[in-house]
C-alpha cells in the first residue's frame, strides 16, 4: 500500500528567513516541501513565484519541491519552474482545458505532474488523469489562504479515488493537523500537506511524526 508523505507548506513559514525555516522542517523529518504559488487571479491572494523556488533550490539542493500552482494559466509557468528546480508541478483541473496534454508537457520538462481539484469540483473531473498523473490533490479548503478549517465534506472524493486507485498518491491540502489527520487518513489520503499545524507548533517534530504515524497505521 501507499506510504505517508509529509509535506509542510512553506506558506506558513517565515518568508524573511525562508531557507532556514524550510531546512528546519526537513531536518525534523518532513519528506517534501509544499510550495504554494498564487497569482491573485485564480485565487484571491498572491504568494511567490519561480524565483523563490530557484533560491530555495540553491539552499536545499536535495529537497523535493512540490509546487502547487493556484494560477489561471498553469501552462505558462511550466518551463520557469522546471528551470528553477521544481520536482513536482501540480495544476488545477479547473484552470486548463486539456489536462492530459499539460501533464505531458510537465513530464517533458522533467517534473512530476499533479492535478488538483477545488472543494466544489467533482472528483469525476480528475479520475480520467489519475493513471497518467503522479498525484491527485483533493483540496480540503478553498484554495487561497493558509490557516483555514479542514472540510470533512470532501472526504467522499478521497474515498472514491482510493477505491479505484489503490497505489495512487492522493494528496490533501488545507487544515490538516493532528486533529484532522485521522479523518483524512481513514478516507485514503497519504500525501499530507500541513502548513500552520507544523510551522506554528512549538514541537514541529512531534507534529510531523504524529501525522506520519496516523497515515501509516
Count Cβ atoms below 10 Å from residue 98 Cβ, excluding itself.
10
Rounded-to-integer distance, Cα 202 and Cα 204, Å:
6
- Residue 75 or 119: the one with the smaller Cβ distance to ligand DX5 is 119
Find the distance separating the first CA and the last CA of the chain, reported in whole Å.
Answer: 11
> According to CB under 5 A, which one of 106, 136, 173, 199 is a site residue for Zn ion?
173
- C-alpha cell of 215? 497515515
> According to CB under 6 A, which one of 173, 184, 188, 212 is a site residue for ligand DX5?
173
Q: Which does 174 bind (CB under 5 to 8 A by kind): ligand DX5, Zn ion, none?
A: ligand DX5
Decide: 154 and 123 in contact? Cβ < 8 Å: no
Based on the shown chain and the rule CB under 5 A, indicate whether residue 68 belongs to the binding site for Zn ion: yes
Considering the complex, what minimum distance in angstroms separates the CB of residue 208 from ligand DX5?
A: 13
> According to CB under 6 A, which one of 135, 174, 185, 207 is a site residue for ligand DX5?
174
| Of 48-56, 106-114, 121-129, 140-148: span binding ligand DX5 (CB under 6 A) | 140-148
Question: How is 77-126 classified by DSSP, letter by letter?
Answer: GHHHHHHHT-SEEEEEGGG-S-HHHHHHHHHHTT-EEEEEE-TTS-GGGT
Whether 21 sits among the annotated catalytic residues: the reply is no
Whether 17 sits among the annotated catalytic residues: the reply is no
Decide: 176 and 211 in contact? Cβ < 8 Å: yes
Bridge partner residues of 92 (DSSP): 116
Based on the shown chain and the rule CB under 5 A, indicate whether residue 31 belongs to the binding site for Zn ion: no
CB-closest chain residue to ligand DX5? 195
The footprint of ligand DX5 (CB under 6 A) covers: 9, 11-12, 34, 36, 68, 141, 143-148, 173-176, 193-197
Residues forming the active site? 36, 173
Amino acid at each position: 500500500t501507499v506510504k505517508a508523505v509529509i509535506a509542510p507548506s512553506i506558506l506558513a513559514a517565515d518568508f524573511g528567513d525562508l531557507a532556514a525555516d524550510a531546512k528546519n522542517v526537513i531536518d525534523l523529518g518532513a519528506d517534501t516541501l509544499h510550495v504554494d504559488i498564487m497569482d491573485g487571479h485564480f485565487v484571491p491572494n498572491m504568494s511567490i513565484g519561480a524565483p523563490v523556488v530557484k533560491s530555495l533550490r540553491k539552499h536545499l539542493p536535495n529537497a523535493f519541491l512540490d509546487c502547487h500552482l493556484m494560477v489561471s494559466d498553469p501552462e505558462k509557468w511550466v518551463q520557469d519552474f522546471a528551470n528553477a528546480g521544481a520536482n513536482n508541478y501540480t495544476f488545477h483541473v479547473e484552470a486548463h482545458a486539456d489536462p492530459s496534454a499539460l501533464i505531458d508537457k510537465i513530464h517533458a520538462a522533467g517534473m512530476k505532474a499533479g492535478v488538483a481539484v477545488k472543494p466544489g469540483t467533482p472528483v469525476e473531473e480528475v479520475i480520467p488523469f489519475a493513471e497518467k498523473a503522479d498525484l491527485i490533490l483533493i483540496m480540503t479548503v478553498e484554495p487561497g489562504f493558509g490557516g483555514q478549517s479542514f472540510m470533512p465534506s470532501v472526504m467522499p472524493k478521497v474515498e472514491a479515488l482510493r477505491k479505484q486507485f489503490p497505489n495512487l498518491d492522493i494528496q490533501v491540502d488545507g487544515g490538516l493537523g493532528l486533529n484532522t489527520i485521522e479523518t483524512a487518513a481513514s478516507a485514503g489520503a497519504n500525501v499530507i500537506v500541513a502548513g500552520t499545524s507544523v510551522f506554528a507548533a512549538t514541537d514541529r517534530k512531534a507534529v510531523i511524526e504524529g501525522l506520519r504515524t496516523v497515515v501509516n497505521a
